[in-house]
Amino acid sequence: MGSRSLTFFIPVFNEEQIIDQNLQAVVSAVEKVVEDFEILIIDDGSTDSSNLKIRQWCKKYNKIRLIEHKINLGYGAALRSGFSNAQKELIFYTDMDLPADLAQLSQVLPLMESYDLLIGYRINRQDTL
């Protein structure tokens, strides 16, 4: 496990269908690579049950914190909230649909010893309009 601390944050807007499964994947992946971490969920004004599900996770797992926007402010505002509320040395963020392979955290975090910033992106995007 790494000795550096990590804030892992995820912007959320109406993601109730995938929160439980994907948040479990995030917790499992982060626990494998670093001991000192926090997981921030930025709820950007969800109108479904996302907020309720996130609150349940916060109650059962003290390393998860909910940051709430009472109304939808947009993706940029959710990112600003994540970065401004991060309390650990390193910051990683991804979307709740987990477009990145979280197993790669173990390969990425050691690179932070040599680089100030690492940016990942999907080579073969499959997004629809």
How far, in Å, CA of 36 to CA of 72, rounded?
31
Average pLDDT over residues 82-109: 93
Q: Which helix (H) or strand (E) holds 38?
A: strand 37-44
Average pLDDT, the chain: 92
Mean pLDDT of 114-125: 81
Helix (H) or strand (E) holding 33: helix 19-33
Nearest Cα to 47, choosing from 64, 68, 67, 22?
68
Tens-place pLDDT, residues 3-58: 789 999 999 999 999 999 999 999 999 999 999 999 999 999 999 999 999 999 99
DSSP 1: -
